[in-house]
Structure 1
Amino acid sequence: MRRSVVAGLIGFATLAAAVLSPAAVSATPAKAAAPADFYQAPSPLPAGEPGTIIRTQPATVVATALTATATTVMYHSRNAQNADIAVTGTVFTPTLPWLGAGSRPWVDLAVGTQGLGQQCAPSKQFVDGTEQELEPVEALLAKGWGVVVSDYEGYTTGSTPTYVAGVSEAHTVLDMARAAASIPGTGVSAATPWATMGYSQGGGASGWAASLAPSYAADLRLITDVSGGVPADVRNVAESLDGSAIGEGLQLYALIGLQQAYPGQFPLDDSLSAAGKATEASLKTQCVVQTLASYPFKKFSDYSTGATIQQFDAQPGVASVYAQNNLITRPAPTVPVLQYHAALDEIIPIGQARALNRAWCTAGVRTVFTVVPGDHIAGETTGLPAAVSWLTDRFAGRPTPTTCA
């Protein structure tokens, strides 16, 4: 999130530091007129393979109007159980011709924490001018690269985001790239070089996308991944937030998201008190800035029927869901990875991020791990120049460095 906006809304820097931060079978987007509510998914969904467009509409994004045209899309993807779902997102198509060698590169940008309210969808906030990821979008477009941004699962009308559910995030991010091929003017084809990139929740989503790309989206020509501030072990992150100055709302986001992604397997509601259920209902209407300002120094036990977060997490079903969402134990990416983390990150523990890097090094990934200055929110900004430089080198085919021993 842009620090000036956060500072104005939250009021002090500590709070600001917490922002977590050929598959498309149709050659052209659907021609049917969009309903009054673009985000209302058809029921039942029309048949479609992952990445197939359901509907589109032009979008006006003032910050990028000189460098790209924007299109809001609804497309098919798959949830954590591999069921067909409708997902929304944004395609930024550069307006200037590509003068570089080969096909124009595209970046699949996975966004950081938005909030669980429907109004928080990145595609809506891009149009409103409030989206926290405008800075990296602008930096990527300045290189002449195309950019796509998924809203992730859960921002269609009446739904709830499956926050930090890794498989769902990976599917929606990868299918966003597939969807771009059906937007007129993008030039996206099987020859298009792609990179995944993200920070915080987005770093987790981009890492998951890189991990699952060989099995889920082998048709995409993925060149590299850049993942910053990665919540690789969501159980570790959730427990570390308990009682922190600004973390309880984010902890509850994660629990709500996992319950939504794994119905019947993650019994959050059964463990909440009446006050906890009221808080859950409120959180589902909020964007992240409001959430960060509302729950200082709270613990899970303040909202449960008595259980601590450690006791809740020890339940077999809960522990199983956490295990399924631990990126450290999933297949390693097959492309080079730049992974970075803020030196003073008070939201996502650096230890579990280092554990991810060690696992990927052991698996033979050619990866660089770097520590950048600042706290959590500063890490996205301080890490952005190196991220863009890494992408430039990978798209150019230059030799890939590594920090693996």
Structure 2
Amino acid sequence: MRRPVFASLLGLALLAVAGPMTASAAPAATSAPGDFYQAPSPLPAGRPGTLIRTRPATVLATALTAKATTIMYHSRDAQNADIAVTGTVFTPTLPWLGRGSRPWVNLAVGTQGLGQQCAPSKQFVATTEQELEPVELLLANGWGVVVSDYEGYTAGSTPTYVAGVSEAHTVLDMARAAASVPGTGISAATRWATMGYSQGGGASSWAASLAPSYAPELNLVTDVSGGVPADVRNVAESLDGSLIGEGLQLYALIGLQQAYPGRFPLDEALSVEGRATVASVKAQCVVQTLASFPLKRFSDYSTGQTIQQFNARPDVASVYAENNLSTRPAPAVPVFQYHAALDEIVPIGQARALNQAWCAKGTPMVFSVVPGDHITGETTGLPGAVSWLADRFAERPLQTTC
């Protein structure tokens, strides 16, 4: 199994530092002239998961196993307002030979960067997408795969990075929208799994948590989540002053300000230099960002506040509280959660707390500690994750660690 593209790119960066399923009966629209990623303005009304437009995509790494389609669809942001979101549908080209109809995996991707060029659907086509490894592995098992770009990658917008409700909505609506893509064969009986690592592990966990209330018609059978940032406040504070984490901390603060306008006053806490830094970060992809902020702290960009002081503001703290997965409803399906033993970016303690909270609420779970740091943890955890998916799709007996 090859090492993720992200890991090798991170090495270069560190060297640089060191030196129902359809939601609407409306017909699917095809691609429009001009920029595919420019959402219609005004956005026509549409139920969550309704397709806005589609176009064929050429993804060389999966060309022999799947037909790729880039889509734009309706979803809802953290305030439940209608938004346009893009993503990719990978429809397997070989017949399904397993039990029942073909299962599908709703893959939530890890950190991409805040620049518009970082959208996963664009990077799949450009062959730069770090999540190609799990996509290829899932397709090799005969399962269909969908990947949302999340909120914020349509032209002129900003990603709402790590905003849990927004991520859950966009992931779940991606499954709804895929049902309207010709050739997928998705129906109300289709078995779905949510899956993700790092930011994606948070997004897939949020999707599994909110699925019963937001998308009850979705036949979700399991969730697989690795490196989960369950407590965003804890993660943001742990990254302060780290070798490569300050840029990710800024991503989280920018994303939450975007998702909760008027409630997360990042801009007013920043110095002139800080505001210029944020503007620069919004145009970057993740590898560039990781290389740009070694050993920096939030106080280097604020008007003097530490990250702890900023996070203690009542308005800021309330947003963090709403984005703490441990306080949210536990999934109604079995969950496989894994975490790297030496994770230096997403603390394992807050991930264990999520596992304990959901076990206490009755969710059948397995918590697996895998070798490696945060970056390598995705690869070392993939075999166990895929084996879990195969067992759940085959309805094999379940054992838990709760």
TM bracket (short chain): over 0.9
Deviation at 1:5, TM superposition (A): 3.5
Alignment of 1:12-31 (within 5 A): 12=15, 22=20, 23-26=22-25, 28-31=27-30
TM-score normalised according to structure 2 size:
0.97
Q: Distance in 2 between matches of 1:390 and 1:43?
A: 43
Matched, 1:166 2:164: yes
The residue that corresponds to 1:207 in the other structure is: 205
> Hey, what's the Cα distance between the residues in 2 that align with 1:366 and 1:14?
43
Say which SS state the counterpart of residue 71 (structure 1) adopts: strand
- Give the Cα separation in 2 of the matches to 1:284 and 1:374: 30
SS of 2:86's partner is: strand
Task: Map 1:4-403 onto structure 2 (within 5 A).
Answer: 5-7=8-10, 9-12=12-15, 22=20, 23-26=22-25, 28-31=27-30, 33-403=31-401
The Cα offsets for residues 226-257 of structure 1, whole Å up to 9 and x where unpaired, read as 00000000000000000001110000000000
Mapped contact 2:17–2:291 kept (Cα < 8 A): no
How many matched pairs?
397
Alpha-carbon separation, structure 2, partners of 1:143 and 1:274:
51
Q: CA, structure 1 residues 303+384, in 2 after alignment: closer, same or farther (shift >3 Å)?
A: same
1:374-402 Cα offsets, whole Å, 9 max, x none, are 00011000000110000000000111110
What is the deviation of 1:8? 5.7
Q: Partner letter of residue 396 of structure 1?
A: A
Q: Counterpart of 2:389 in 1: which secondary structure?
A: helix
For the 8 Å contact 1:27–1:182, the answer to whether it is kept is no
Distance 1:161 1:94 in 2: 29
Structure 1 residues 312-343: Cα deviation after superposition (integer angstroms, max 9, x where no partner): 00001100000000001000000000000000
Cα displacement (A) at 1:26: 3.0
Deviation string for 1:209-237 (max 9, x for gaps)?
Answer: 00000000001000000000000000000
- Number of the residue aligned with 1:2: 5
CA distance 1:82–1:374, change in 2 (3 Å)? same
Q: Let me know the Cα RMSD of the aligned residues.
A: 1.3
Deviation at 1:59, TM superposition (A): 0.2
- Contact persistence 2:160–2:258 (CA under 8 A): yes
What is the distance in 1 between the residues matched to 2:206 and 2:10? 31
Distance between the aligned counterparts of 2:7 and 2:297, measured in 1? Answer: 28
In structure 1, list runs of 5 or more residues that go unmatched. Answer: 16-21
Shift in Å, 1:260: 0.1
Query: Could you say which residue in structure 2 is the equivalent of 1:19?
Result: none
CA contact (8 A) 2:17 2:294 kept: no
Contact 1:198-1:205 at 8 Å conserved across structures:
yes
SS in 2 for 1:72: strand
1:28–1:184 contact (8 Å) kept in structure 2:
no
Distance between the aligned counterparts of 1:321 and 1:102, measured in 2? Answer: 43
- Counterpart contact for 2:28–2:51, Cα < 8 Å: yes
Counterpart AA for 1:235:
R
TM-score (norm 1): 0.96
Question: Is the 2:232–2:320 contact (alpha carbons within 8 Å) kept by the matching residues of 1?
Answer: yes
> Identity of counterpart residues, as a percentage?
81
1:293 Cα deviation after fit: 0.2
Cα deviation, 1:74-133, whole Å, max 9, x if unaligned, reads 000000000000000000000011111111000000000000000000000000000000
> Is 1:203–1:229's contact at 8 Å kept on the other side of the alignment?
yes
Instruction: Look up the SS of the partner of 1:318 in the other structure.
Output: helix
Residues 181 and 343 from structure 1, CA distance in 2 versus in 1: closer, same or farther, beyond 3 angstroms? same
Q: Distance in 2 between matches of 1:11 and 1:227?
A: 27
**In 2 relative to 1, CA 4–215 (structure 1 residues): closer, same or farther, beyond 3 Å?**
closer
**What letter matches 1:247 in structure 2?**
G
Is contact 2:16–2:291 with CA below 8 Å preserved after alignment?
Answer: no
Which residue identity is paired with 1:170?
A
Give the secondary structure class of the aligned counterpart of 1:294: coil
Q: Is the 8 A contact 1:41 1:86 kept in 2?
A: yes
- The AA in structure 2 aligned to 1:9 is L
Taking the aligned partners of 1:402 and 1:222, their CA distance within structure 2 comes to 18
Structure 2 gap ranges (5+): none
Following TM superposition, the consecutive aligned residue runs of length 4 or more in structure 1 with deviations greater than 3 angstroms are: 11-15
Give the counterpart letter for 2:257 in structure 1.
Answer: Q
C-alpha deviation, 1:29, in angstroms:
1.5
> Are the aligned partners of 1:28 and 1:183 in contact in 2 as well (CA < 8 Å)?
no
Paired amino acid for 1:25:
S
SS at match of 2:291: helix
